[in-house]
């Protein structure tokens, strides 16, 4: 009878520990997800140029920065205000989408 009681205690303890771990995991995930919303820095675009170099468009408080990054360096290439960047993007798209007429030679 004492052996059966010992076995029940171990199973109960294991079950309680598993439940505590699951609750901790869910709580930690919720805290991590909610903390991502307040970060003042957002990477809004990224282009990999080769294996070790990339360009990133980073937004900080309504200003956008074009940043070049390699394993050895991080450089700010251009600084754009949020509204100016949107305006330039729209004008660039309009210029690209407008048909170009070719002249007969």
Per-residue model confidence as pLDDT tens digits over 68-104? 999 999 999 999 875 554 555 545 544 444 445 545 5
Residue 90, CA distances (Å) to 2, 85, 87, 97 in order: 78, 9, 5, 11
Mean pLDDT of the 8-25 span = 93
Give the SS3 label for residue 104: coil
User: How far apart (Å, rounded) are the C-alpha atoms in residues 4 and 26?
Assistant: 33
Given a cut of 70, whether residue 42 has pLDDT beyond it is: yes
Query: What whole-number percentage of the chain has pLDDT above 70?
Result: 66
DSSP bridge partners of 76: 67
User: How far apart (Å, rounded) are the C-alpha atoms in residues 70 and 55?
Assistant: 9
Mean pLDDT of the 33-47 span = 76
């Amino acid at each position: 009878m004492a052996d059966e009681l010992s076995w029940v205690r171990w199973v109960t303890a294991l079950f309680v520990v598993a439940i505590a771990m699951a609750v901790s995991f869910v709580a930690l995930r919720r805290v991590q997800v909610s903390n991502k919303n307040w970060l003042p820095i957002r990477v809004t675009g990224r282009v990999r140029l080769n294996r070790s170099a990339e360009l990133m468009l980073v937004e900080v408080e309504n200003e956008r920065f074009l940043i070049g990054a390699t394993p050895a360096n991080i450089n700010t290439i251009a600084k754009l205000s949020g509204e100016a960047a949107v305006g330039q993007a729209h004008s660039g798209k309009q210029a690209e989408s407008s048909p170009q007429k070719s002249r007969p030679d």
